[in-house]
Amino acid sequence: MCLAFAHSVFAQKATAPNRGPDWPQLNAEQQKILAPLKEDWPNIEGPRRQKWLEIAKRYPSMTPEQQNRLQSRMKHWASLSHDERAQARDRYKQLKQLPPEKRAEVNRKWQEYQNLPEEQKENLRKTHPQPVPAKPQTPGAGKPQAASSDKPQAAGSTTSPQPGNADKQVQPPGSATKPQPVSN
């Protein structure tokens, strides 16, 4: 019986995913750099934790502008709900699947949008509202879960809009809350 118990404990440890270090196990510098993610750290899976730690390792070699952009994006990412993060990941995957010429066009339109005055951006947001996603139908589907892919995005990357709307709107990395339409 002891042998069976020991085997089951070993099997659980062998199949349990590597969670990576918990927050208290990070050194002071890592905690400072990754501070915007502190509250969500327990929900981040091991592979995502490792990616964030790799970014924290590169952080000191970044320019001050890159560091500020990274901190800003981490804060925004941490403020998103689980569903909003999932939507952002889906749009990112969709963009990556576009042919290079289509991605270049989306990036060009995003840059055009970025150069608009804030007033014009707000007008475009009002005239092109983002569709509200349908509520989950399965029991427990709307409950927060551990994020499956807390993937940091490279500086300057963009996320894609819903399929078939690539020419109409583009959203900034991690932005699932406000549409960012681009005028033609």
59 part of a folded domain: yes
Judge if 70 and 58 occupy the same domain. Answer: yes
Judge if 30 and 115 occupy the same domain. Answer: no
Q: Tell me the average pLDDT of the chain.
A: 73
40 part of a folded domain: yes
pLDDT of residue 139: 47
137 part of a folded domain: no
170 part of a folded domain: yes
18 part of a folded domain: no
Judge if 107 and 34 occupy the same domain. Answer: no
Judge if 95 and 173 occupy the same domain. Answer: yes
Judge if 115 and 98 occupy the same domain. Answer: yes
Tell me how far apart the alpha carbons of residues 20 and 41 are, in angstroms, rounded to a whole number: 10
Tell me how far apart the alpha carbons of residues 147 and 160 are, in angstroms, rounded to a whole number: 20
Q: What is the mean pLDDT of residues 45-50?
A: 90
Residue whose pair of structure tokens reads 């349908």 in the numeric block: 134
Judge if 114 and 175 occupy the same domain. Answer: yes
Confidence at 62, pLDDT banded by 50, 70, 90: very high
Model confidence, pTM: 0.52
Judge if 110 and 44 occupy the same domain. Answer: no
pLDDT of residue 134: 52
pLDDT of residue 129: 77
7 part of a folded domain: no
5 part of a folded domain: no
Q: Which domain holds residue 46?
A: 23-79
Judge if 58 and 74 occupy the same domain. Answer: yes
Judge if 170 and 112 occupy the same domain. Answer: yes
96 part of a folded domain: yes
Position 15 pLDDT exceeds 60: no
What are the tens digits of pLDDT across the range 128-184?
Answer: 877 655 554 444 444 444 444 444 444 444 443 333 444 444 444 444 444 444 444
